[in-house]
Amino acid sequence: MTAPNRIAFIGNSLPRRCGIATFTTDLQNAVAAARGDLETVIVAMTDHGQIYDYPSTVGFQINDNRPEDYIRAAEFLNSGRFDAVSLQHEFGIFGGEAGSHILALLSRLTIPVVTTLHTVLSEPTKAQRDVLVRIIGISSRVVVMAEKGRELLRAVYQVPDEKIEIIPHGIPEFAFVEPDDAKAKLGFSDRAVILTFGLLSPNKGIDVMIDAMPSILKTRPDAVYVVLGATHPNLVRDQGEAYRASLVAHARAAGVENHVVFLDQFVDQKTLLEFISMSDVYVTPYLNEAQMTSGTLAYSFGLGKAVVSTPYWHARELLADGRGILVPFGDAAALGVEISKLLTNDVLRQAMRKRAYSSSRSMTWERTAERYMAVFAAAGRRHRLKTIAGSDTSTLLRDRSALPEMRIDHFLAMCDDTGLLQHAVHSVPDRAHGYCVDDNARALLLACALNSPGEQRLSEVLTARFAAFVQHAWNPDTKRFRNFMGFNRCWLEDSGSEDSHGRTLWALGVCALTDANSSRRTWAASLFAEAMAGADQLRSPRAWAFVLLGLDAYCSAVTEDARAATLRLLLADRLISVFDAVETGDWVWFEEGLAYDNARLPQALILAGMATRNPIYLETGLKSLRWLVKQQTSAAGQFRPVGTEGFGETRRRPRAFDQQPLEATATIAACLAAWQADHDVAWKAEAARVFAWFLGSNDLSVSLVDLETGSCRDGLHPDRPNENRGGESVVSYLLGLSEIRQVARLGESRAKPTPLVA
């Protein structure tokens, strides 16, 4: 996805007096400044009964207690061709129980949503939890401003890590300056200034700081405590200025009225920065631990101020490691001691200031905007995946533009001058485990698949490299392919497994038929003919199936090879024999248990049945595949591959985890083979349903793929995706994608889909 060009912000907006309004406006300004061609707009929340003179950046207003405004706002956003919506969430700014009115807007959006949570409650009410869970579910990404927020989202709301971003509260870019000039300008020359700013309310702990002033004045008689900020509008509406008057009376009773200055102002940013600049110590004596973020703290910290604070969540993280001082909640004595230390020790205070300023450079609004823009782009990719995964299957198969592009960046990163590496640590190729012929045979299959019309072929050099690996794996002494090779290019065995031998024959057969290079087609046919000589000795049903898949292609390329035709009948008969021996009324399968690459068995019989016109092969393949489809369908109707925990268990329903990409790719191919055999469009729909598993239509609702690089996670654990992205997984995804794209190119059948799963 290209970088977003139009961003909408939902939240309070200046000149409304509150921290959310300041944040929303600052973020919108910073994002707008990130690129000259970027368009931004604010959808402003207006509290009932109030009227604000909004600037031109506000394109739409929502009266918080009018549900119809939320619906109209959704229409405004959907019609505005916005690339992303940035929602500023605080329970108190939206109407309805626990702010539920916002759901009427979000549920109607066709645009990716990035939600910034200004509060994450550790003990929400049922209504608060329900609303927040729904908002998170709609959101493509969720932003918090501190690590504590991520911890709570994981523990309390079960939000997966991949959906959470931590972006600290933005701060203005401001030089590290001494306070003297600002003190002179504001009338506080020759005073030791302690500052608190923000909207006044009882939870700010101002009274505790007033109680600390007598002890501070003993060491610094010139100290003054400046309280800058208007009373919170909600408090004014309910009580007038009674709270401010009580603080003034409290200072008088403590005998410090001449050293406490209340400035009843809601100042603009320029004036605010001047007040912060003049302070020697900034203090946030808040009384509530559960404060996820504080813009006042972030701004003062970012200007390089010595900060003393109570240990609410944001302060604990921001002021750790000597970047500030923490004191217990409600402890006036501790406040007095720590502030006095800073005001009487210039060396200590300056060292703390420099640590704060240095560590805050990544928090400037310019850097914050860059991080939000990256999240908006990622949200767009996730939203597209979600849209694809949730699309009607007929749309996926009819419209190739609705499918992911064929991106092979990660596949190329997993290859070196030897071949395709087996494993990765996250997305980084892991050389410790070397290579295997299994994965390089799959890579050769992918190279052949990309020869299809409409796809970009792999380079000749890379395709030749996979072929060379297969050639080198052939051991003429044992008449088998080796499988595992160390990173030092030394083989770790003389003969690989039966499955790896069969899988390599499969790749050779396909190469003999569809490789773009005629010389390599001849090579593949020759090596196939040599290596199939011992295939009749194989004992693994999967190995038989792999060889049959190779024979399907090879017999089309080399029509006169009677040995191959005989071998195909032999192996197909063996699959029929084991099926007949195992099948019962409720167990319609070839073995006593299910394991890996299951769908390749029915696929092999279906293809053999079509090629030989043998109805028994075909009917058995279709019958067993229909049964497998039922086993691989969750109660919610999503594809659920046979989990590795249940591999080989005797005649029991498959375990749900761990789920691997290999199974999805095999099922896609088998279903499309079935569609070719009986022309029932339901098989195409099933293939699309299975492919959607890669994109997030799965038990965890997590995409396994990265649309930008084409990487694919190694699978799904019960509680999280496997973050490693190895060779088998990326090839499995790309092979599945190539088949779905090829079917989409053929166009949609006129037949009406019928469900395969009752």
User: What is d(CA 5, CA 35) in angstroms, rounded to the nearest whole number?
Assistant: 9
Beta-bridged to residue 85, according to DSSP, are: 8, 113
pLDDT at 747: 66
DSSP labels, 371-388:
HHHHHHHHHHHHHHHHHH
In this structure, what CATH number is given to the domain that contains residue 731? 1.50.10.10
Beta-bridged to residue 40, according to DSSP, are: 7
338 domain residue, yes or no: yes
Q: What is the mean pLDDT of residues 720-739?
A: 95
84-120 pLDDT tens trace: 999 999 998 999 999 999 999 999 998 999 999 999 9
509-520 pLDDT tens trace: 999 999 999 999
Residues 79, 138, single domain; the answer is yes
Q: Is the pLDDT of residue 548 over 60?
A: yes
571-597 pLDDT tens trace: 999 999 999 999 998 999 999 999 999
Among the three residues 338, 355, 372, which one is the final residue of a domain in this structure?
Answer: 355
pLDDT at 304: 95
More confident residue, 649 or 411: 411
Residue owning tokens 């060396």: 347
pTM of the model: 0.64
pLDDT at 751: 41
62 domain residue, yes or no: yes
625-649 pLDDT tens trace: 999 999 999 988 889 999 998 888 8
DSSP labels, 528-540:
HHHHGGGGGG---
pLDDT band at 399 (very low <50, low <70, confident <90, very high): low
Phi, psi of 42 (to 5 degrees): -110, 130
Alpha helices in 345-459 (DSSP H): 346-359, 365-389, 393-398, 409-413, 437-449
Q: What is the mean pLDDT of residues 362-370?
A: 94
User: What is d(CA 666, CA 687) in angstroms, rounded to the nearest whole number?
Assistant: 10
From 463, 550, 465, 468, select the one nearest 502 (Cα to Cα).
Answer: 550
User: What is d(CA 102, CA 10) in angstroms, rounded to the nearest whole number?
Assistant: 10
CA 634-635-640 angle, to 5 degrees, is 5
pLDDT at 755: 44
CB-count exposure of residue 63 (10 Å: 0-12, 13-18, 19+): middle
pLDDT at 748: 41
**DSSP structure class, residue 750:** S
User: What is d(CA 2, CA 314) in angstroms, rounded to the nearest whole number?
Assistant: 34
pLDDT at 398: 56
In this structure, what CATH number is given to the domain that contains residue 135? 3.40.50.2000
Residues 98, 185, single domain; the answer is no
Return the number of other C-beta atoms located less than 10 Å from residue 55's C-beta. Answer: 12
Domain residues for 322?
180-355
Q: Is the pLDDT of residue 385 over 80?
A: no
Q: HSE (CB half, 13 Å, CA atoms) of 604?
A: 29
754 domain residue, yes or no: no
Residues 643, 704, single domain; the answer is yes
Sign of the torsion angle spanned by Cα atoms 436, 440, 443, 445: negative
Residues 24, 145, single domain; the answer is yes
752 domain residue, yes or no: no
174 domain residue, yes or no: no
Residues 698, 741, single domain; the answer is yes
Instruction: Tell how far CA 495 is from the center of its chain.
Output: 41
Among the three residues 118, 141, 166, which one is the final residue of a domain in this structure?
Answer: 166
Give long-range contacts, CB 8 A cutoff, 24+ apart: 703-707.
703/382, 703/385, 703/386, 703/389, 704/661, 704/729, 704/733, 705/385, 705/404, 705/733, 706/381, 706/410, 707/1, 707/381, 707/384, 707/385, 707/404, 707/405, 707/407
Q: What tokens were used for 253?
A: 């009773």
pLDDT at 2: 60
**DSSP structure class, residue 85:** E
User: What is d(CA 602, CA 303) in angstroms, rounded to the nearest whole number?
Assistant: 68
Q: State which H helix or E strand residue 425 sits in.
A: strand 421-425
Residues 276, 138, single domain; the answer is no
Q: Is the pLDDT of residue 750 over 50?
A: no
Instruction: Tell how far CA 204 is from the center of its chain.
Output: 36
pLDDT at 707: 84
311 domain residue, yes or no: yes
Residues 99, 210, single domain; the answer is no
Among the three residues 121, 143, 166, which one is the final residue of a domain in this structure?
Answer: 166
236-291 pLDDT tens trace: 888 999 999 999 999 999 999 999 999 998 888 899 999 999 999 999 999 988 88
Return the number of other C-beta atoms located less than 10 Å from residue 623's C-beta. Answer: 15
From 364, 348, 366, select the one nearest 307 (Cα to Cα).
Answer: 348
For residues 388-402, one letter each, b for 16 or more C-beta atoms within 10 angstroms of the residue's C-beta and e for the rest, the string is: bbebebbbbbeebee
pLDDT at 458: 94
Q: State which H helix or E strand residue 103 sits in.
A: helix 102-106
Q: What is the mean pLDDT of residues 142-146?
A: 95
Residues 156, 185, single domain; the answer is no
User: What is d(CA 650, CA 281) in angstroms, rounded to the nearest whole number?
Assistant: 71
- % of the chain residues with pLDDT over 90: 81
Beta-bridged to residue 480, according to DSSP, are: 475
DSSP labels, 200-262:
B-GGG-HHHHHHHHHHHHHH-TTEEEEEE-PBPHHHHHHHTTHHHHHHHHHHHHTT-GGGEEE
Amino acid at 90: E
pLDDT at 386: 63
pLDDT at 396: 56
Residues 351, 444, single domain; the answer is no
Q: 3-class SS at 55?
A: coil
Q: What is the mean pLDDT of residues 672-681?
A: 94
Return the number of other C-beta atoms located less than 10 Å from residue 65's C-beta. Answer: 14
Q: What is the mean pLDDT of residues 712-735?
A: 94
Residues 426, 323, single domain; the answer is no
648 domain residue, yes or no: yes
Q: Is the pLDDT of residue 701 over 90?
A: no
pLDDT at 397: 59
User: What is d(CA 423, CA 183) in angstroms, rounded to the nearest whole number?
Assistant: 62
Q: 3-class SS at 196?
A: strand
pLDDT at 395: 54
Q: Is the pLDDT of residue 390 over 60?
A: no
CB-count exposure of residue 270 (10 Å: 0-12, 13-18, 19+): exposed
Residues 607, 518, single domain; the answer is yes
Q: What is the mean pLDDT of residues 358-369?
A: 94
CA 83-89-95 angle, to 5 degrees, is 110
Tell me how many domains the chain contains: 3
**DSSP structure class, residue 37:** T
pLDDT at 603: 98
From 567, 652, 659, select the one nearest 612 (Cα to Cα).
Answer: 567
Q: Is the pLDDT of residue 604 over 60?
A: yes
8-50 pLDDT tens trace: 999 999 999 888 999 999 999 999 999 888 999 999 999 988 9
**DSSP structure class, residue 267:** -
Q: State which H helix or E strand residue 326 sits in.
A: strand 325-326
**DSSP structure class, residue 60:** E
Phi, psi of 18 (to 5 degrees): -170, 165
Amino acid at 741: R
Residues 505, 565, single domain; the answer is yes
- Is-contact 688 404, C-beta < 8 A? no
| Mean pLDDT of all residues belonging to the chain | 92
Q: Is the pLDDT of residue 556 over 60?
A: yes
Q: Is the pLDDT of residue 326 over 80?
A: yes
756 domain residue, yes or no: no
Is the backbone peptide bond immediately before 658 cis, with ω within 30 degrees of 0?
yes
Q: Is the pLDDT of residue 389 over 80?
A: no
Residue owning tokens 């504080």: 294
Q: 3-class SS at 604?
A: helix
In which region does residue 115 sit, left (phi positive, over 0), alpha (psi from -120 to 50) or beta (all else)? beta
pLDDT at 1: 46
* Helices then strands, each counted (H, E), the chain: 28, 20
pLDDT band at 453 (very low <50, low <70, confident <90, very high): confident
- CB neighbour list of residue 110: distance below 8 Å, 6 or more residues apart: 78
- CB neighbour list of residue 559: distance below 8 Å, 6 or more residues apart: none
Instruction: Tell how far CA 436 is from the center of its chain.
Output: 30
